[in-house]
Amino acid sequence: MTRTMKITFAVASIVGLAVGIVWGCYKGKEASLFMRSAEVMSIPSITSDFAREQFEHADQAHARQAVLLEIKLLEQVERVVHEPGASDGAFASEGSGFQLVLAYTRLALIEETAGQTEAVRRDLDQAKVWFNRNRPDKEVTDEQLKNTLKRFDAAFDRLPNAGS
């Protein structure tokens, strides 16, 4: 090989290596952000599934505690997502907002069964607050919230391997 070919080969190798490193770092960062967001999104999903199962099968006290745990966790996720610069836009919060609507509605149904009318009103009002964050132009009634929760749970039960 001539000296010019060796220099051309060496320069091309260095340029290729540099481009590969830059491209690899960029793609690695993207993958890391995706995995972090998937990790954060799966936590509320697990607690939501647990709360739904407790709501359907457990006694009132355990169902209430499971839903309160779900609400606490979802509200913490919402606070983190909305901190300025905390997530750099990597985490979408629409899903947890909808889960909070369902969770507060579920809590209201638990309180309704216990005859706690003040708690029912408070929980349904909280569900409406979370509903209106994404749809401020639309009014929702208590019955619509309850029916949505029932339809959502019924649809979830029809999924293959739901809850396992």
pLDDT digits (tens, 9 = 90+) for 15-48: 888 888 888 877 777 776 666 655 555 666 677 7
Phi/psi of residue 160, each to 5°?
-65, 140
Instruction: Give me 36's structure tokens.
Output: 């972090």
Check residue 161 and give left, alpha or beta (phi > 0: left; psi -120 to 50: alpha). left
pLDDT digits (tens, 9 = 90+) for 54-80: 777 778 888 888 899 889 988 888 887
- 64 close to 107: Cβ distance less than 8 angstroms: yes
pLDDT cut 70: percent of the chain above it: 76
pLDDT band at 101 (very low <50, low <70, confident <90, very high): very high
**Nearest 5°: CA angle at 120, between 78 and 77?**
10
Q: CA of 76: how far to CAs of 15, 80, 110, 140, in Å? A: 46, 6, 22, 25
**Nearest 5°: CA angle at 96, between 103 and 44?**
75
The whole-model pTM stands at: 0.64
Residue 146: pLDDT above 80?
yes
Q: Between 93 and 51, where is the model more confident?
A: 51
pLDDT band at 119 (very low <50, low <70, confident <90, very high): very high
* Overall residue count recorded for the chain in this entry: 164
